[in-house]
C-alpha cells in the first residue's frame, strides 16, 4: 500500500507538471485558433470571449486547472465546440483496435523469430532474425505505411489502402505498426533465451531426461518472457500514440488523425486534452507493469520486505 500510495503521488506530481507545461507551450504557438481571414474583428473577439481567451493568462490557467479537477478537458474550437473528452472516447476504440492488433501480430511473429534465432544460434536463421530486428527498429512506420499501400494494396490489390470500413481496412496500418513490435520482441526473446540456456538449472533439467521441447517451454521460454513485460505495456501505449502519422496516411478516423488536425488548426483544448489523456494512460500502464512484474517474478520484492 505504501508503494502504491507513493507511485500515485508521483503520478499526480508528474501530471501537474505535464498539464502546466502543455498549457503554456500552447500559448507560445504563433497566431491563434481564430486566424481565419473570413472572420471580422468583432466575430474573432466574440469567439475569444466565448472560450475565455480574452482573459489574462493566469486566469485562463486557473480556470483550466479547475476544470481539469472536475474531469473537464474543455471544448474543441474546431470540432464544432464538442467536449474534448467526448471526441477522444469516440475515436479511442478505433486507435486501440489497430494498436492491439499490431501488438498481437508483433507478439506472435516476434516470439517465433526470437525462439528460432536462440535455438539456432549462429546459424542463418539467427543472422536473418538479427537483420530483420535492426531493420524493423530503424525503419519508421510512416515509411512502411506507404510501401505497404503501394505494393500490397495497389500493385497486388490484396487489401484496401485507406479508410476504416471493415476489418480488412485495419490490416495494413496494423502491419505497419507491428514491424517495430516484431523487431523489439524478437530481440528481447533471443537475448533472454540465450542467457537462460546457459544457466545451470537448464543443464540439470536436461540431465533429468526432459525432452528438448519440455526444457524450452517449461524452463527457457517461461523465464525469458518475464523481461518482456518490462517493454510490453509501454510498447502498447507507444503504438496508440505512435499511430498518429499512420492514421493520417491510411485516413483512419482515430485519435491520431484528430490530433494531427488539431495541431494544424491550433485547437488548444484538443491538443492539451489529448496530451493529458495519453500521459495518464502511459502512467497507468507503467504502474500496472510494475505490479504485474512483481507478481510474476518471485525475485522481485518491495523495499524492506524480507524473503
pLDDT of residue 307: 42
Residue ranges for the chain with pLDDT beneath 70 = 31-32, 35-37, 39, 219, 237, 240-242, 293-307
Domains and CATH numbers, the chain: 92-253 (1.10.3720.10)
- Cα–Cα distances in angstroms (integers) from residue 220 to residues 59, 90, 118, 296, in the given order: 59, 42, 10, 15
pLDDT of residue 241: 64
Would you list the DSSP string of 49-87?
HHTTTTS-HHHHHHHHHHHHHTT---B-TTTTT-BHHHH
Q: Please state the pTM of the whole predicted model.
A: 0.77
pLDDT of residue 300: 55
- Cα–Cα distances in angstroms (integers) from residue 134 to residues 17, 114, 183, 202, 204, in the given order: 35, 13, 7, 29, 34
Strands (E) across 123-234 are located at none
Give the distance from CA 54 to its chain's centroid. 36
- Report the C-alpha gap between 224 and 197 in whole angstroms: 10
Amino acid at each position: 500500500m505504501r508503494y502504491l500510495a507513493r507511485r500515485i503521488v508521483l503520478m499526480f506530481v508528474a501530471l501537474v507538471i505535464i498539464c502546466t507545461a502543455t498549457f503554456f507551450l500552447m500559448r507560445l504557438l504563433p497566431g491563434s485558433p481564430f486566424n481565419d481571414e473570413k472572420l471580422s474583428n468583432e466575430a474573432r473577439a466574440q469567439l475569444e470571449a466565448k472560450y475565455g481567451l480574452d482573459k489574462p493568462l493566469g486566469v485562463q490557467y486557473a480556470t483550466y486547472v479547475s476544470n481539469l479537477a472536475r474531469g473537464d478537458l474543455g471544448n474543441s474550437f474546431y470540432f464544432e465546440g464538442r467536449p474534448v473528452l467526448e471526441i477522444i472516447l469516440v475515436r479511442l476504440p478505433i486507435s486501440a483496435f489497430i494498436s492491439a492488433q499490431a501488438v498481437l501480430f508483433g507478439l506472435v511473429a516476434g516470439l517465433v523469430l526470437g525462439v528460432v534465432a536462440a535455438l539456432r544460434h549462429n546459424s542463418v536463421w539467427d543472422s536473418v532474425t538479427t537483420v530483420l530486428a535492426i531493420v524493423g527498429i530503424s525503419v519508421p512506420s510512416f515509411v512502411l505505411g506507404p510501401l505497404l499501400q503501394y505494393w500490397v494494396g495497389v500493385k497486388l490489390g490484396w487489401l484496401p489502402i485507406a479508410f476504416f470500413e471493415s476489418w480488412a481496412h485495419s490490416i495494413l496500418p496494423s502491419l505497419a505498426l507491428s514491424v517495430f513490435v516484431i523487431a523489439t520482441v524478437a530481440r528481447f526473446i533471443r537475448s533472454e533465451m540465450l542467457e537462460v540456456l546457459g544457466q545451470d538449472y537448464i543443464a540439470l533439467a536436461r540431465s533429468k531426461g526432459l525432452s528438448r521441447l519440455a526444457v524450452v517451454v517449461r524452463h527457457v521460454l517461461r523465464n525469458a518472457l518475464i523481461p518482456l513485460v518490462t517493454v510490453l505495456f509501454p510498447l502498447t501505449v507507444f503504438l496508440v500514440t505512435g499511430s498518429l502519422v499512420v492514421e493520417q496516411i491510411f485516413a483512419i478516423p482515430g485519435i491520431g488523425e484528430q490530433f494531427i488536425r488539431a495541431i494544424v488548426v491550433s485547437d488548444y483544448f484538443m491538443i492539451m486534452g489529448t496530451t493529458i489523456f495519453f500521459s495518464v494512460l502511459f502512467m497507468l500502464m507503467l504502474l500496472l507493469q510494475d505490479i504485474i512484474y512483481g507478481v510474476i517474478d518471485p525475485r522481485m520484492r518491495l523495499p524492506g520486505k524480507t524473503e
